[in-house]
Amino acid sequence: MKLVKSLPPMFAELEPFLDWVLPSESERRRYRESLEMDEITEFYDAMLKRAPEILDHFRAAETEAGGPDLVDASTRTLFTLMLSFSEASLSVEMHRSPTVPDGMPGDIWKPEHETPGWKNKPKIKLVPRVTDLMNVIKVTAA
Amino acid sequence: MKLSDLQNTRWTLNHPNLGTGPVSTQAYSSPEYFELIRDKVFKKTWICTGKRIDEIPNPGDYFLEETEITGTSVIIIRGLDNKIRGFHNTCLHRGTQLVFESYGNVKGKLTCIYHGWAYGLNGKNMVITEREMFFDLETMEKDLIPVSVDTWSGIIFMNLDPSPKETLLQHIGPEVDDLFGAYPFETTSVQVSYRADLDCSWPVLRDSQIDGYHLKYLHKRSAPNFMESEESPNRHAYDFKLLGKHGFGSFYGNRAKIGADLSKVAPVASLASKVGQTLASDTARRVELSQWAKGVNPTRSTDWFFDILYIFPNAHFIFLGYQQYIIHKMMPAKVVDKSSWNARYFAPPMPEGGLVDRWAAEYMKYSLRDLWREDGNTTMGAQRSINSGVFKKMYLQDQEILIRHAEKVLEEAVRF
């Protein structure tokens, strides 16, 4: 799904950070790792100020639209920006570095959700445990 | 239980057969030993696929289980009778690969692209095109070659031996089944799955996830202050259990510090932990401890971080809460000094799945991913020194008992 390059009007001051809006996890992570700490921190600080309101906006927008998948394009872009905010926060809060200093290179970890087979994955359907039924079968077999 | 109560415990000494001396790195480097591991273990033991029955819920649903050390590709598929079976991914005509996608669904039969031969979901040959032209129709082997497949608590296991010498339940053993069988796995589904191919031997990789000693040091950035304890700075494990072939450990986490400090120094981590369920969330308070499965957080501590359950040979379960866990599927690759790692995180699917829930769930994914990068990093240089012959043995402390045990179980499996 293509992402529009605009945000809901009340968050217009975050528009300088639209370069962080990238469609996949790997792209967002690589972008984070390509920047200097001061650029990441600038983004982080701007987002942190508005984070609680952004979450409120999500709750309101999905109620109004009738579901999280029905929200308008600029809210979807804002959501992607929040995902990048999570990446930036790991750098600022945990690692104090654009990357993971004690960690192996990021490209070694391949997300299964970005592989071709993943889109053919059957839809998960939780199956309740059937222990009572098993007991019944055991008794009649004896 | 207070951590300081455990200061003088020496778990290893309760198991004299384990010994306390240095452990050889032979399994970590010898090509001959590697072949024994392949033939005595991976060709005939129950291997955890890391996947659950809910991932192939309907007849015709399948996934491919590829095992590098044995060079096999197996189709794990649900039949029309709802039973899950496994077959080698090979047509019986000229050995062509039948299935190419890692996941999918077929309607009623598996058809080979080469000459149109087809097989039922139970493996029986259904179609041989131009069959009247073949000479040995009565005697030819034309059904798919089966492997053994079974489930424990809905988790799918495979055994390449079509007539294994023990059932899956015998392999799991009564103790593990009793302690963990009733864990509510069936309320969860896979949320995150990452895979890495690593330049280290499988035992090095295996060891990286059965040691609690490293948590405070290696993960000081990804899990800051989670392991601090003024009362007991070494924060020894609450519990270790050796359960047949398998090993268990239960580990401390500083809940008070995590909660209080986090919102000041890591506001986003703190926010995610409140609106979702992340590493920093107070899982011990979300569901009453008395409701938890018997074997998880056995000391019923509120200052608890997680439990490790290592199921020989290839699955590490990391229990993070009442119904949240990771399965690390660690496998040897084609040669002794390479391995693969598939890390999968399971939790209940989000009820309404609103954007805030999704955001928190994604945060958890990225934080796990970064933390696992730290574990992965420790494996990389180790193999170089093992391969060169420079590093031949490991001195292990008491808290590394599960490594000692895992090596012993492996050695016994190879020698008998």
CATH number at residue B88: 2.102.10.10
pLDDT of A47 higher than 90: yes
- Contact criterion met (CB < 8 Å) for B359 and A82: yes
Q: Which B-chain residues 129-168 have CB contacts (< 8 A) with chain A?
A: 153-154
Q: How far apart are CA B41 and CA B312, in angstroms?
A: 10
Q: Which of A102, A134, A138 to mutate to test the interface with B (most CBs of B within 10 A)?
A: A102
CB burial of A4-18 (b: ≥16 within 10 Å; e: otherwise) equals: eeebbeebeebeebe
| Claim to verify: residue B391 and residue B313 sit in the same structural domain | yes
| Claim to verify: residue B124 and residue B143 sit in the same structural domain | yes
- Contact criterion met (CB < 8 Å) for A71 and B367: no
Which residues, listed in sequence order, are joined to residue B247 by a DSSP beta bridge?
A: B242, B310
Handedness of CA B23, B28, B32, B35 (dihedral sign): positive
Contacts of B354 in chain A (CB under 8 A): 58-59, 62, 68
| Claim to verify: residue B360 and residue B376 sit in the same structural domain | yes
Contacts of A25 in chain B (CB under 8 A): 362, 365-366
Say if B36 is an interface residue toward chain A (CB within 8 Å). no
Confidence (pLDDT) at B259: 65
Contacts of B105 in chain A (CB under 8 A): 120, 122
| Claim to verify: residue B198 and residue B254 sit in the same structural domain | yes
Contacts of A125 in chain B (CB under 8 A): 54, 57-58
| Claim to verify: residue B305 and residue B400 sit in the same structural domain | yes
| Claim to verify: residue B210 and residue B110 sit in the same structural domain | no
Instruction: Taking residues A113-138, report their average pLDDT.
Output: 73
Residue A56 lies in a domain: yes
Q: In this complex, which of B61, B369, B379 lies closest to A109 when CB atoms are compared?
A: B369
The CATH number for B185's domain is: 3.90.380.10
Chain B nearest CA to A127, separation (Å): 6
| Claim to verify: residue B256 and residue B356 sit in the same structural domain | yes
Say if B190 is an interface residue toward chain A (CB within 8 Å). yes
pLDDT of A132 higher than 60: no
The DSSP string of A18-48 is GGG--SSHHHHHHHHHHS-HHHHHHHHHHHH
Residue A134 lies in a domain: no
| Claim to verify: residue B192 and residue B334 sit in the same structural domain | yes
Domain around A38: 9-111
Confidence (pLDDT) at B123: 97
| Domain end marker among B163, B182, B213 | B163
Chain A nearest CA to B49, separation (Å): 14
List all residues 6 or more positions away from B165 whose beta carbon is below 8 Å from its beta carbon: B44
Q: How far apart are CA B327 and CA B342, in angstroms?
A: 8
Q: In this complex, which of B272, B356, B370 lies closest to A59 when CB atoms are compared?
A: B356
- Contact criterion met (CB < 8 Å) for A127 and B193: no
Domain around B59: 47-163
How does pLDDT run across B312-337, given as a tens digit for each residue? 999 999 999 899 999 999 999 999 99
| Claim to verify: residue B304 and residue B349 sit in the same structural domain | yes
pTM here? Answer: 0.91
| Burial bucket for residue B126 (CB in 10 Å: 0-12, 13-18, 19+) | middle
Contacts of A89 in chain B (CB under 8 A): 266, 268-269, 363
The band of A28, judged by pLDDT with boundaries at 50, 70 and 90, is very high
| Claim to verify: residue B77 and residue B152 sit in the same structural domain | yes
- The amino acid that residue B37 corresponds to is I
Q: Which residue of B has its CA nearest to A24?
A: B362
Q: How far apart are CA B57 and CA B78, in angstroms?
A: 8
| Claim to verify: residue B36 and residue B53 sit in the same structural domain | no
A-B Cβ pairs (cutoff 8 Å, strict) = 166
Q: How far apart are CA A81 and CA B167, in angstroms?
A: 50
Residue A118 lies in a domain: no
Contacts of B224 in chain A (CB under 8 A): 94
Nearest to A93 by CA among B370, B281, B266, B222: B266
In the Cβ-directed half-sphere of B194, how many Cα atoms lie within 13 Å? 22
Confidence (pLDDT) at B192: 86
Chain A nearest CA to B13, separation (Å): 33
Neighbours of A142 (CB within 10 A): 4
φ/ψ (deg, to 5) at B398:
-55, -40
Residue A128 lies in a domain: no
Confidence (pLDDT) at B256: 67
Say if B363 is an interface residue toward chain A (CB within 8 Å). yes
Q: Which of B329, B355, B383 to mutate to test the interface with A (most CBs of A within 10 A)?
A: B355
The band of B352, judged by pLDDT with boundaries at 50, 70 and 90, is low
Q: Which of B53, B100, B362, B373 to mutate to test the interface with A (most CBs of A within 10 A)?
A: B373
Q: Which of B138-147, B262-271, B391-400 has the lowest average pLDDT?
A: B262-271
Q: Which of A86-90, A116-120, B272-276, B341-345 has the lowest average pLDDT?
A: B272-276
| Claim to verify: residue B338 and residue B242 sit in the same structural domain | yes
Residue A21 lies in a domain: yes
- Contact criterion met (CB < 8 Å) for B377 and A116: no
Number of domains in chain B: 2
Contacts of B193 in chain A (CB under 8 A): 111-113
The band of B212, judged by pLDDT with boundaries at 50, 70 and 90, is confident
Number of domains in chain A: 1
Rg (CA), chain B: 23
| Domain end marker among B133, B163, B193 | B163
